[in-house]
Amino acid sequence: MRRSGGELTFQDLRERGTSVLLESGIPEAPRDALLLLQNAAGLDAAGLLARLDRPPPDDAAALFREFVARRAAREPAAMILGRTEFWGIPIRVAPDVLIPRPETEGIIEEALRLSARDGLGLRTIADIGTGSGCLAIALAAEFPDARIFAADISPAALDLARTNVEAAGVSARVRVIEGDLFEPMGSLSLEGGIDLVVANPPYVRRGEIDSLAPEVSRWEPRAALDGGPDGLSVIRRLIDGARRFLRPGGFLVFEIGHDQGPGILDLLDRSGFVEAVVAPDLAGLPRVVVARIPERDERPSSSGARKGQECSVC
C-alpha cells in the first residue's frame, strides 16, 4: 500500500498503529487504531475507508502517532478523544469520570420496561453517582415529563455532568447536585417522593482495583470504583437511602458486579424491598438489580417479602 514515492498511506498508518497496540497487549487494537485514525484525520468511517490508499495530511499523521502512543500507554480511547456515546447520545469524558459503559444502558432498558409493563409513572427520578451524567441524560431523553436529580460527591465530575446536560439540551429538567448519596435530596424535600432511583455505584472490592485492566485502574477515578473492602459499602447505603426516598410502589434499579447478586438480594429483602430480581446485562451476566418498595396497603406475602426475589442468571 506504500506509494511509489515512499509516502505512507492511511492504510499503512492503520496497520502500523494496529501492530503497536497489539504489542502493548490491547485486544481491541484493530478497532481502536481505526477509531483513532478516523479522529486524527477528522473523517467518519466511510470517509476513511474511501481514502485508505491515499497519503494523509502531515498533521493528521502526526496526531495519529501521538494518539497511538497514548493508547499504547493504556490510556482509554474515549479518554484520548475526550468523548464517547451512551444510549446514542454524545457524552464528554475526562479522567474525573467513569467512561460510560454499554452494559450500563441495561438500566435505561429496565426503566423503559417498568414504565411500559408496570405503568410506572415517572415524574421524579434520582440518579445517584451520576458521573458524566450519562444515565440522567438518557432518562431525560426517554421520559420527557420527568424531572431528574443527578447527584455525585465529586465536584469535578459534576462540572462535566453539567456540560453534558447542557449539550444534550435537557438542563431545564435535569438538576445536577453535589453531595453524599441522597444527602442533597433531603434539603429538596424529596423524601418519600421519588418514583425511580437509578445508580451505577462504585462496587469493586478495594483489594481488586489494582488487578483491573490498566485502562480502569490507572485512568478512572478511584471514587467511581471503590466499593470498600467487600464491594458493598456504597450499595448498602444506597439501598438504605432509596428505602427512605422512594415513594410507596417506587423502584430502585442499579448496576452490580456479576458475583454480587445473591448478597444484594438478601440486603434488599432485609431492607423491606419486594420483587427484587437481577437481570442479565448485554453479555448475559447478572448485573442489573430491580426492586420495588411495597405500596402502603400492600401486605407481605405469607413467605415474606422475599417472595418474588430471584436472580435469573446468578
Neighbours of 29 (CB within 10 A): 20
Question: Is the distance from CB of 291 to CB of 274 less than 8 angstroms?
Answer: yes
Does 134 bind ligand SAM (CB under 6 A)? Our answer is yes
Nearer to ligand SAM, 56 or 131 (CB): 131
Nearer to ligand SAM, 104 or 309 (CB): 104
Q: How far apart are CA 35 and CA 289, in angstroms?
A: 33
- Using the rule CB under 6 A, which residue among 28, 44, 180, 208 binds ligand SAM? 180
Question: Among residue numbers 49 through 88, which ones bind ligand SAM (CB under 6 A)?
Answer: none
Question: Is the distance from CB of 61 to CB of 13 less than 8 angstroms?
Answer: yes
Question: Among residue numbers 99 through 118, which ones bind ligand SAM (CB under 6 A)?
Answer: 100, 104
- Using the rule CB under 6 A, which residue among 72, 223, 252, 264 binds ligand SAM? 223
Range in contact with ligand SAM (rule: CB under 6 A) among 113-121, 150-158, 246-254, 277-285: 150-158
Using a 10 angstrom Cβ sphere, with 0-12 exposed, 13-18 middle and 19 or more buried, the burial of residue 245 is: buried
Question: Among residue numbers 182 through 201, which ones bind ligand SAM (CB under 6 A)?
Answer: 200-201
Q: Chain centroid to CA 105: how far?
A: 7
Q: How far apart are CA 20 and CA 203, in angstroms?
A: 33
Nearer to ligand SAM, 33 or 224 (CB): 224
Angle at 41 between CA 38 and CA 44, to 5 degrees: 40
The nearest distance, CB 41 to ligand SAM, in angstroms, is 29
Where on the chain is the footprint of ligand SAM (CB under 6 A)? 97-98, 100, 104, 129-132, 134-135, 151-154, 157, 180-181, 200-202, 223-224, 234
